[in-house]
């Protein structure tokens, strides 16, 4: 598994917040007037899109939507103050 990609994306999200580029989707979502609700809404939207792709048995679309879902989940974690390391630790604890 390429978990280093998750760590890299997590770092990029944090960096975009600390050093916001002029136009950044990450900053747009995480500083939205709705607050964390905007990131949470995006998780719901992407989850639905993933489910529809899976239902339609479209592998390429499933992969795209799964990536979108994971990305937006990372944004939601950041928006709600949950550290990715804590989530990964929890997953690790569950496999024992």
Distance between alpha carbon 93 and the CA centroid of its chain, in Å? 21
CA pair distance 26, 96, nearest whole angstrom: 34
Q: What is the pTM of this model?
A: 0.92
CA–CA distances in Å: residue 22 to residues 27, 28, 69, 76, 86: 9, 10, 24, 21, 31
Question: At 1, is the pLDDT very low, low, confident or very high (cuts 50, 70, 90)?
Answer: low
Domain 3-85 has CATH 2.40.37.10: no
Question: At 3, is the pLDDT very low, low, confident or very high (cuts 50, 70, 90)?
Answer: confident
Give the residue extent of every domain in the chain: 3-85
């Amino acid at each position: 598994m390429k978990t280093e990609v998750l760590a890299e994306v997590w770092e990029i999200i944090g960096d975009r917040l600390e050093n916001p580029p002029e136009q950044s989707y990450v900053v747009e979502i995480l500083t939205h007037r709705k607050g964390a609700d905007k990131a949470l809404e995006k998780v719901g939207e992407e989850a639905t899109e993933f489910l529809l792709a899976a239902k339609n048995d479209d592998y390429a679309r499933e992969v795209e939507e799964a990536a979108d879902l994971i990305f937006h989940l990372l944004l939601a974690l950041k928006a709600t103050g949950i550290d990715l390391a804590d989530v990964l630790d929890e997953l690790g604890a569950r496999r024992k």
